[in-house]
Each structure stands twice: as structure tokens, then as C-alpha cells.
């Protein structure tokens, strides 16, 4: 397997060097291609060049290869996994919120029909049939408000207080968390000059309001005030997919550094917003012993407090029935 990866790495290096040569001149001769392949330890150059030609990256002839037209983009073909996943995305009800019917139909026609789905993509699909997205109309209204720069009236509730409240704010950004399969909306309150992050399923009665003239710079400045000064630092074991689970759990955070300390640990650092504090703590608890929170210290103390609260003795009678 190590030899296989080494050979594939040489093939990638060969392709990159050929593209670099073609970016500086019109063509690369057959002798140059064969010499480059021998230098990198490849058996022959054709096994790399033919897929590149099929992808539209270059043009082959008997004397070597030529540069393709600079004014056209290389139509990179989708691999089977990408085709299957795109087909799955187009089948979801959320697709109607982001794509016009014409665009969605055009994408479907470009996909190759297959009788069986790829096994790896099947594992990404839920075992049971999902009901249509209950917030689809709300999501469409929010996206319309973002495009048109309009305020939005809505009713909301929080985890701490289930009472319904009214609000009028400007939708700025929509996020989807693959980790918890939830939609989030970031609103901007012009009166308070602050941003608010809310779960879509906690909102109801959404109505479009008046258009407002608020610059993106004003909203970004308000977001900056909620950015915590110290980044979250995680020590991650390379075992049992802990690193991959961290990327999935914190995909919406601002990663600033990913480093490896020997063979035993990775270090991940990301910037985070104040309104994500409780979400980060809950996700840290779900990642298991392969992930250690190294900083900042206030967040470590909060995480330790949650663990101590879970071990309180008064919880035992309710669990054991004593």
C-alpha cells in the first residue's frame, strides 16, 4: 500500500509539472514528457496524460502535448461518488430553495443514470425515509430576504425560555450543520447593532418586512465584536477517526492552524463566536476520549463543570429507581 501511494504521488507530481510547463509555453515535446516521467519513476507518461486530455486540461498529439485554450475552463468530469451524491442532493426538498427548476433539471440531465447506488453513498443516506423539510417555506423566505436586503418579522423561543417572543431583524447568513442536521440563521439587529444566531426550527410566523440599506461591513463589524480573543485548542488522537469527527463537528468554525505533534497527536486551533459557546461544549462531550480540550482555560472550566454536574449524586436515585 505504501508503494501504491508513492506511485500515485509521482503521477500527481508529473501532472502538475506538465501543467506548469504548459503555463509558460505553447507545447511540451514527447522527449520532454518521457524524460520527466523517467525522472519521477513512472513507467510511461500516457497513463497520466490521457485522463488529463479527457478532462480537457491539454491536447495530445504525436509530438507531445499542447496547451489548451486559456479562455475556457477545464470541464473536470465528476467521479461516480460525486455523481451519486449530487443526484442525492437534487432529490432533497431543500434543493428547491437554492436552485430554479430549470437549473435542477439541467443538472439531472448531465448526470449518468445508474441502476445501483454506490455503497459509500448509500451509507450517507438515512435508513428510514425522511419527511419533507418542515421549514422549507421559512428557509425560502429567509433566502429571499437575504437576496433583497429586507427585514423579517418572526416569532421565536429559546432553550432557556419556551415563551414565544416577537422580533424584527435582518437575515444575513444561513448555515447548515452536517453534524446535527440543523439549519441555523444569523440575523442582524440594526437597533442594537448586534448579531443573533438562531435555529431555524425555533422560528415561526416569518414575514417579509421593508427593505433596508445596511452595508455588509457594518454587519461584519458587529460579528467581530462577538469573536472570542482566544482560539479553541484541541489535542486530537490519530486513532478511530477522531480527527475526521472533529472536522465534521466544527465545520462551521474558523480554523486557523492544523499541526501534527509527532505520531501521537494533532493540534487544531479555531476561532469561535460567543454565541457558539454552548454548541461547542455539547459537541466536545460527544467526541469521546480521543479529543482533549487544551484551551482556552474558561472553556475548560465550563466543560469540567458540565462533567461534574452529570456525576452529581442526586441524579442516581432517578436513574437507579432507589
pLDDT per residue over 13-38, tens digit each?
A: 888 888 888 887 888 998 888 888 88
pLDDT at 43: 64
**Residue 146 counted as domain residue:** yes
Please say which residue of 225, 250, 273 terminates a domain.
225
State yes or no: pLDDT of 294 exceeds 90: yes
Rounded to whole angstroms, the Cα distance separating 286 from 280 reads 10
pLDDT at 286: 84
pLDDT (average), residues 260-269? 83
Instruction: Report which listed range, 110-119, 188-197, 237-246, is most confident.
Output: 188-197
Structural domain span for residue 15 = 2-67
Neighbour-count burial of 1, counting CB atoms closer than 10 A to its CB (0-12 exposed, 13-18 middle, 19+ buried): exposed
**Residue 174 counted as domain residue:** yes
State yes or no: pLDDT of 50 exceeds 50: yes
Q: Are residues 238 and 298 in the same domain?
A: yes
The answer to whether the CB of 264 falls within 8 A of the CB of 286 is: no
Q: Are residues 213 and 253 in the same domain?
A: no
pLDDT (average), residues 78-93? 77
The 10s digit of each residue's pLDDT in 242-256 is: 887 888 888 878 888
Q: Are residues 248 and 298 in the same domain?
A: yes
Q: Are residues 243 and 272 in the same domain?
A: yes
Q: Are residues 13 and 53 in the same domain?
A: yes
Neighbour-count burial of 110, counting CB atoms closer than 10 A to its CB (0-12 exposed, 13-18 middle, 19+ buried): exposed
Instruction: Report which listed range, 58-62, 72-76, 84-88, is most confident.
Output: 58-62
The count of structural domains within the chain is: 4
**Residue 106 counted as domain residue:** yes
State yes or no: pLDDT of 300 exceeds 50: yes
Rounded to whole angstroms, the Cα distance separating 140 from 146 reads 10
pLDDT at 211: 92
**Residue 130 counted as domain residue:** no
Q: Which of the four pLDDT bands, split at 50, 70 and 90, describes residue 154?
A: very high
Q: Are residues 158 and 220 in the same domain?
A: yes
State yes or no: pLDDT of 124 exceeds 60: no
Q: Are residues 61 and 84 in the same domain?
A: no
Cis peptide before 296 (omega within 30 of 0): yes
pLDDT at 44: 65
Q: Which CATH number is 306's domain given?
A: 3.30.70.260
Q: Which of 216-219's residues contact partners 24+ apart within 8 Å by CB, and which partners?
A: 218/188, 218/193, 219/170, 219/172, 219/188, 219/195
pLDDT (average), residues 277-296? 88
Residues sharing a CB contact under 8 Å with residue 147, sequence separation 6 or more, in sequence order: none
Q: Are residues 120 and 150 in the same domain?
A: no
Q: Which of 5, 11, 83 is nearest to 41 (CA)?
A: 11
pLDDT (average), residues 303-308? 87
Q: Which CATH number is 28's domain given?
A: 1.10.10
Q: Are residues 248 and 219 in the same domain?
A: no
Please say which residue of 225, 241, 258 terminates a domain.
225
State yes or no: pLDDT of 128 exceeds 90: no
Q: Are residues 160 and 203 in the same domain?
A: yes
The 10s digit of each residue's pLDDT in 166-190 is: 999 999 988 877 777 788 899 999 9
Q: Which of 286, 197, 200 is nearest to 250 (CA)?
A: 286
Q: Are residues 260 and 290 in the same domain?
A: yes
**Residue 153 counted as domain residue:** yes
pLDDT (average), residues 250-266? 81
The answer to whether the CB of 131 falls within 8 A of the CB of 93 is: no
Higher pLDDT among residues 79 and 75, named by residue: 79
**Residue 134 counted as domain residue:** no
Q: Are residues 219 and 151 in the same domain?
A: yes
Q: Which CATH number is 191's domain given?
A: 2.30.30
Instruction: Report which listed range, 65-74, 91-100, 236-245, 269-278, is most confident.
Output: 269-278
HEC readout, 222-273 = HHHHCECCCCEEEEECCCCCHHHHHHHHCCCCEEEEEEEECCCEEEEEEECE
> Counting runs of H as helices and runs of E as strands, what totals does the chain give?
13, 12
**Residue 288 counted as domain residue:** yes
**Residue 72 counted as domain residue:** no
Q: Is the C-alpha dihedral spanning 141, 146, 147, 148 positive or negative?
A: positive
Continuous segment of H or E residues that includes residue 184 = strand 182-189
State yes or no: pLDDT of 116 exceeds 50: no
pLDDT at 274: 87
Residues sharing a CB contact under 8 Å with residue 249, sequence separation 6 or more, in sequence order: 179, 283, 286, 287
Listed range (52-61, 106-115, 213-222, 303-312) with the worst mean pLDDT: 106-115
Count, residues in the chain: 322
The answer to whether the CB of 139 falls within 8 A of the CB of 97 is: yes
Higher pLDDT among residues 53 and 131, named by residue: 53
Higher pLDDT among residues 48 and 160, named by residue: 48
pTM, to two decimals: 0.54
Average pLDDT, the chain: 79
pLDDT at 36: 86
Percent of the chain having pLDDT more than 90?
Answer: 15
Q: Which of 66, 202, 230 is nearest to 134 (CA)?
A: 202
Rounded to whole angstroms, the Cα distance separating 28 from 45 reads 12
Rounded to whole angstroms, the Cα distance separating 95 from 184 reads 17
Amino acid at each position: 500500500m505504501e508503494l501504491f501511494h508513492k506511485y500515485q504521488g509521482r503521477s500527481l507530481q508529473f501532472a502538475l509539472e506538465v501543467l506548469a510547463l504548459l503555463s509558460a509555453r505553447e507545447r511540451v515535446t514527447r522527449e520532454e514528457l518521457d524524460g520527466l516521467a523517467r525522472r519521477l519513476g513512472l513507467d510511461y507518461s500516457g497513463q497520466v496524460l490521457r485522463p488529463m486530455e479527457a478532462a480537457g486540461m491539454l491536447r495530445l498529439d504525436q509530438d507531445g502535448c499542447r496547451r489548451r485554450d486559456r479562455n475556457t475552463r477545464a470541464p473536470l468530469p465528476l467521479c461516480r461518488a460525486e455523481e451519486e451524491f449530487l443526484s442525492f442532493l437534487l432529490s432533497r426538498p431543500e434543493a428547491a430553495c437554492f436552485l430554479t427548476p430549470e437549473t435542477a433539471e439541467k443538472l439531472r440531465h448531465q448526470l449518468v443514470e445508474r441502476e445501483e447506488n454506490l455503497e459509500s453513498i448509500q451509507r450517507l443516506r438515512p435508513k428510514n425515509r425522511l419527511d419533507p423539510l418542515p421549514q422549507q417555506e421559512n428557509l425560502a423566505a429567509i433566502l429571499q430576504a437575504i437576496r433583497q436586503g429586507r427585514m423579517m418579522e418572526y416569532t421565536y423561543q429559546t432553550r432557556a425560555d419556551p415563551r414565544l417572543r416577537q422580533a424584527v431583524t435582518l437575515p444575513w447568513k444561513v448555515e447548515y450543520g452536517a453534524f446535527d442536521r440543523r439549519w441555523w440563521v444569523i440575523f442582524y439587529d440594526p437597533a442594537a447593532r448586534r448579531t443573533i444566531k438562531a435555529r431555524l426550527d425555533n422560528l415561526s410566523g416569518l414575514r417579509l418586512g421593508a427593505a433596508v440599506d445596511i452595508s455588509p461591513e457594518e454587519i461584519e463589524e458587529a460579528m467581530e465584536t462577538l469573536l472570542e480573543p482566544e482560539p479553541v485548542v484541541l489535542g486530537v488522537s490519530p486513532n478511530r477517526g477522531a480527527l475526521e469527527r472533529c472536522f465534521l463537528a466544527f465545520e462551521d468554525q474558523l480554523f486557523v492552524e492544523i499541526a501534527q505533534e509527532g505520531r501521537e497527536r494533532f493540534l487544531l486551533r479555531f476561532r469561535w463566536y460567543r454565541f457558539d459557546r454552548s454548541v461547542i461544549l455539547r459537541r466536545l462531550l460527544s467526541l469521546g476520549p480521543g479529543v482533549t480540550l487544551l484551551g482556552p482555560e474558561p472553556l475548560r472550566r465550563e466543560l469540567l463543570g458540565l462533567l461534574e454536574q452529570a456525576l452529581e449524586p442526586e441524579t442516581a436515585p432517578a436513574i437507579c429507581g432507589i
